[in-house]
Structure 1
Amino acid sequence: MAEPLRLLVVCLGNICRSPMAEGVLRARIEASPLAGRVEVDSAGTGDWHVGDPPDRRAIATAREHGIDIAGLRARQIGRDDHHDFDWLLCADRNNLRDVRARAPEAARARTALLLEWAGIDGEIEVPDPYTGGPAQFEHVHRLLDAAANGVIERLLRGETVAAGPRQG
């Protein structure tokens, strides 16, 4: 990878799943041979929380695992993201559908479900913990931690463009 590979994790409001994923991915990547070669960001398909910090339960769950996401701020995915990132990795099918529907015709980024792209067997969607409690946030963290490990394995094998068509 000559230029850094750029990954954008997308969920609905960018206050639970995607900031937790951003935090876990950054931490795991920085502790791997990929440090400095992969950039990670997050966004939401909706605009309800733009400028807000992650949900307090997401912050607490990440903190329990040694990851600080308190400084992140929610943002909505924009047209430029389809050109500025290599992969838009979505938490669930609805987010994936919305991201693909908003893609400009000449979009460069590829789109996929995060867990599927990371090679996670079983669940292919990250459930939204927003209406749940600590157990749901912990479950999401476990999925995202497994996904982060899968992303690293995939990238270390050199698999950056296979799997998934370009969507516009």
Structure 2
Amino acid sequence: MEKVKVLFVCMGNICRSPTAQGVFAHLVQSQGLADRILIDSAGTHAYHIGKPPDSRSQAAAKDRGLDLSEQRARKVDMLDFERFDYILAMDRANLQDLQQLAFPPQQERIYLFMRFATRWNTDEVPDPYYGGSSGFERVLDMIEDAAEGLLEHIRRTHL
């Protein structure tokens, strides 16, 4: 059986999308589905290619038992639109950037990640980069909620 492939996308791939990758990978692993779902992250901009996630993202994740240290930032490439079943943008600006890059049939794979959330009534994960540590905690709370909803959707739809 072919794996369901999930790509999380933010602007620089150092805060929100690597956090989402780490949270979702942990959730998938804990549910015994790591052999069924492939998870990655990328950025719409090339600001931080090859760099690890922001130290504040790593610290907030580590407080919840998640290790993001092995991840490295990369930029979305055209093959991602063919390779991934779900391309999940953290906000409307990145959604728009992705939709402009993708061909029309590929645009059906692009979603706002927060559409899968059940406890948050917002469609965007705010960028915590210029804020304090509480922003990184809030982002983790939002991502954990949306990750649970996404996994439930994938279970119903694909597994």
Q: Which band: TM-score by shorter chain?
A: over 0.9
Runs of 5+ consecutive residues of structure 1 not aligned to the other structure: 161-168
Q: Does 1:150 align with 2:149?
A: yes
CA gap 1:107/1:28 in 2 versus in 1, 3 angstroms: same
Query: How many pairs are equivalent?
Result: 159
Point out the more displaced range, 76-85 or 105-114. 105-114
Taking only the aligned residue pairs, the percentage that are identical comes to 40
The offset of 1:148, in angstroms, is 1.3
Q: Provide the TM-score with structure 1 as the length reference.
A: 0.88
Comparing both structures, which one devotes a greater share of its residues to helix? 2
User: What is the 5 A alignment of 1:22-41?
Assistant: 22-41=21-40
The offset of 1:103, in angstroms, is 1.0
Q: What is the distance in 2 between the residues matched to 1:38 and 1:88?
A: 13
User: What is the 5 A alignment of 1:20-59?
Assistant: 20-59=19-58
Residue 4 of structure 1: aligned partner: 3
Residue 132 of structure 2: aligned partner: 133
Q: Does 1:98 align with 2:97?
A: yes
Tell me the secondary structure at the aligned position of residue 157 of structure 2. Answer: coil
The offset of 1:7, in angstroms, is 0.5
Contact map agreement 2:87 2:110 (CA 8 A) in 1: yes
Q: Which amino acid aligns with 1:66?
A: G
Tell me the secondary structure at the aligned position of residue 6 of structure 1. Answer: strand
Residue 70 of structure 1: aligned partner: 69
The offset of 1:153, in angstroms, is 1.4
Q: Does 1:19 align with 2:30?
A: no
Superposed structure 1 runs of 4+ greater than 3 Å apart: 104-109, 117-121
Q: Provide the TM-score with structure 2 as the length reference.
A: 0.93
Tell me the secondary structure at the aligned position of residue 148 of structure 1. Answer: helix
The offset of 1:105, in angstroms, is 5.4
Q: What is the distance in 2 between the residues matched to 1:106 and 1:40?
A: 22
Cα RMSD, aligned residues only: 1.7
